Structure 1
C-alpha cells in the first residue's frame, strides 16, 4: 500500500505525537502537513519534524488522502463547518477528539468516510492504546490506513459498535489517571511508614513499571500473576485482603461506570 498523504488539523500534543511516530516509522516529511492557529506552535512542529505547517485549515487538506481532526472538542463544530467546503469526495477523516460522534461529524462535514478514535496520553511516549470505530463509508484500505496511523503511537484496536468508544474512554482514555492516583496513594503510604519521600516514590514508580511489563509479556492473565506473588498468610495476602474488604473491585466498577456515563453525556452535549 502506498504511503497516504496526511493532513493534521490542529498541531497540539497528540497530533505532534502522531507526527513524530509517523516520521520515526519512515514516513516522508513531504507526506505530512499540519495546520494550527498559533504561530509559535507552527514553528515548533515544523522545526521538530521537518514538515510543512500552515495557518489555514483549507490549505492543509489540499491533496491529502487522510484528514486528522486534532482540535479541541469544544471548537470542533466550528472548525468542521468551515472546513467542509475544502474537503474532497473520498478523503478519509480521522477524528481523535473526545466525545464527538461520527453522526455529528457527518452532519458538519457531509457524508464521507469517518474513523473515530479514542487514544490516551501514553501515546505521547508511543506507548498508547486507541479504540477505533469506522462508519460504513470507510473502505478496507482506509481502515488499514487508519490503523497504521494510530499504531504509530501504540496499539490500535477496532470496535464493532461506536457506543463502545465510551467504554474505551472509561478504561484506557481516562485509565492513566487511575494508575497515577494509585501511585500517589502508595507513595504517600510509604512515606507514612517511614520511607523518605523520594525513596517511596521511586519504589512505587519502578514497581508499577515492572508490573506492567510483566503483565504485557506474560502468557497468563493479571489474576494469575497476582496469585503467583500472593503467598498464603504472607504480606501480599494481608494487603490484598484489605483492598478487597474495602470493596476495591466494586469501587473500580463504579468508577468506570461513572466515566462511561460521562463520556456519553459529553458526546451528546458536544454534538449539538
Structure 2
C-alpha cells in the first residue's frame, strides 16, 4: 500500500482530509499528488502535507496506481473525459467520491476498461471520524478492492455494498446523517435553555451527552435498543421523555426523513446524468 502512487484530481476539503489521513497512516507524502486548477488550494495543501502538486490532471496521473476523483458532480464529465487517455494508458484503480455519479457513467467517460470504486464518504471524514460506503464495479480485482478500502479507511469506517443502488441508502444514513444529529442537538440545546440552563451549560451538556452515548454504543456488544432499555427506569424521567417521543411519532418521522433523503439522492443522480 505505501509504495502505491496516489493522484487526487481535486484538492477540496474531502481530498485534503483523505491526504492528511493517509499521511497520518504512514503513506509517504512523495507518493501522493494533487491536481486542481485553483493554485491557492494546491499551494496550501502542499504547505500542510509536503505532497506533490500539479495543475495538469493528466500529468498528475501519469505514474499513478490509484486516481481519486474528488471534484463536484457538475464538472465530473468534463474532468473524467479529460483524463480518459491517461487512464487507459496507466490503467489505475479509480476511486470516485463525487456524489450521485454511477459507475456506468464513469466508465462511459473514462473507458469501459476502467476499474472503478464508487464511494460515499461523509463530513466527519475531515476529522478522520467518517463513515464511507463503497461499491466496486465488476472488473475491480481483489487487490484493488483491498487498496480502495485501505485508502478510504484513512478517514474512518468503511462499509461495502453489493448493489450500487444501495449507495443512495448509504447517503440517507451516513451521508446526510451528521445533520440529523446536529438537528437533534440543536433542539436539545434550545430546550435546555428553555428549562433555565445557561446557554454554555446547555451546549456543553448536550454535546458531551451525544459523545458519551455514541461511545457507549460503539464500544458495547449490545445494540442501541438494549442500551436504551437499560437506562430507562420504569416510571422514571427517561421513560417519560421516551414515551413523549413515541407519542409524537418519532420513529415514523425518522423513517420518512431518511426515505426522503434516499429518494432525493436518486433524483439528483438522475438530473446529473441528464
CA contact (8 A) 2:66 2:93 kept: yes
Q: Secondary structure at the match of 2:164?
A: coil
Aligned-pair CA distance for 1:3: 2.8
Q: Secondary structure at the match of 1:198?
A: helix
Q: Residue 3 of structure 1 corresponds to which residue in structure 2?
A: 3
Cα distance in 1 between the residues matched to 2:147 and 2:57: 21
Does 2:48 correspond to 1:53?
Answer: no
User: Any stretches of 5+ residues in structure 2 without a counterpart?
Assistant: none
CA contact (8 A) 2:4 2:31 kept: yes
1:93-242 paired onto structure 2 within 5 Å: 93-111=94-112, 112-242=114-244
Q: Which moved more, 1:223-232 or 1:84-93?
A: 84-93
Question: Once the two structures are superposed, what CA deviation does each residue of 1:140-160 show, in whole Å capped at 9, x if it has no partner?
Answer: 000000000000000111110
Aligned-pair CA distance for 1:198: 1.1
- Aligned counterpart in structure 2 of residue 256 of structure 1, from 243, 252, 258: 258
Q: Secondary structure at the match of 1:155?
A: strand
CA contact (8 A) 2:116 2:140 kept: yes
Q: Which moved more, 1:113-122 or 1:50-59?
A: 50-59
Cα distance in 1 between the residues matched to 2:36 and 2:266: 28
Q: Secondary structure at the match of 1:231?
A: coil
Aligned-pair CA distance for 1:103: 0.7
Question: Once the two structures are superposed, what CA deviation does each residue of 1:110-163 show, in whole Å capped at 9, x if it has no partner?
Answer: 111000000000100001110100001101000000000000000111110000
Q: Which moved more, 1:246-255 or 1:2-11?
A: 2-11
Cα distance in 2 between the residues matched to 1:5 and 1:261: 37
Q: Secondary structure at the match of 2:83?
A: helix
Cα distance in 2 between the residues matched to 1:80 and 1:2: 26
Q: Residue 90 of structure 1 corresponds to which residue in structure 2?
A: 91
Q: Residue 38 of structure 1 corresponds to which residue in structure 2?
A: 38
Cα distance in 2 between the residues matched to 1:206 and 1:89: 48
Cα RMSD, aligned residues only: 0.9
Aligned length: 272
Question: Once the two structures are superposed, what CA deviation does each residue of 1:23-52 show, in whole Å capped at 9, x if it has no partner?
Answer: 001111111001011111111000101001
User: Any stretches of 5+ residues in structure 1 without a counterpart?
Assistant: none
Aligned-pair CA distance for 1:266: 1.1
Q: Which moved more, 1:30-39 or 1:168-177?
A: 30-39
Cα distance in 1 between the residues matched to 2:216 and 2:270: 39
Cα distance in 1 between the residues matched to 2:245 and 2:75: 42
Cα distance in 1 between the residues matched to 2:264 and 2:4: 35
Q: Secondary structure at the match of 1:220?
A: coil
Q: Secondary structure at the match of 1:94?
A: strand
